[in-house]
Amino acid sequence: MKDFYDLDWLSRNLEFDHALLSLAIRTTFERRGTALPEILPVALTKLFTQDGHRIVFWNDADREFSDLIAVREVVARRMDGHWASGNLPSTHETPRIAFRAAYLALMAAADFLELRRAHADGFQETDADRLWQAYAGDLYRFDQLYRHFCEHADVVEAQTLSRWRPRPNSCASSMPT
């Protein structure tokens, strides 16, 4: 989602040579061997940008994490504890890898929300040098924290939900012949 905010901000605050931008996009797709979409991707439509669920999600998350220092303290204590220990093996009954990943996801979310609060009014850079400095600093950090959250959340899902997913062989062996 952060990439969309960046593109929106850039489009509102900087002048672009539209012909050159179009050529750059086409060239990038050609170099990657990817076909340009025939229709506008859903993520680039007004319906997507006005999706109330996305807006509500981030506003709710911001309220839920109102005391970010307390969240970090709890996460640090839990990560040092028995259930999320990186020094003990993960088992089917005690998926420590998933517990640890869940706490790392919470830490990334807390850091993301703290950075979001620090920039509640957005980024106001008006020239290329300041925009680059913002990108190399906090804008890049936004992107990294969001990616870390997603990576850890994916580990949690893989480590916990995958054990309930039926395996093809087990399904096939139980089918009547």
Residue 165: pLDDT band with limits 50, 70, 90: low
Instruction: Tell whether 43 is covered by a domain.
Output: yes
**Full domain range(s) for residue 18:** 1-48
- The number of domains in the chain is 2
Residue environment code for 12-35, b if the CB has 16+ CB neighbours within 10 A, otherwise e: eeeeeeeeeeeeeeeeeeeeeeee
Instruction: Tell whether 174 is covered by a domain.
Output: no
Q: How much of the chain exceeds pLDDT 90, in percent?
A: 3
Return d(Cα 167, Cα 18) in angstroms, integer. Answer: 50
Question: Per residue in 32-88, pLDDT tens?
Answer: 888 887 877 776 676 765 666 666 665 665 566 567 777 778 888 888 777 787 788
Do residues 25 and 58 both lie within one domain? no
Question: Per residue in 144-164, pLDDT tens?
Answer: 999 999 999 888 888 776 555
Do residues 86 and 152 both lie within one domain? yes
Instruction: Tell whether 31 is covered by a domain.
Output: yes
Paired tokens of 139? 């804008």
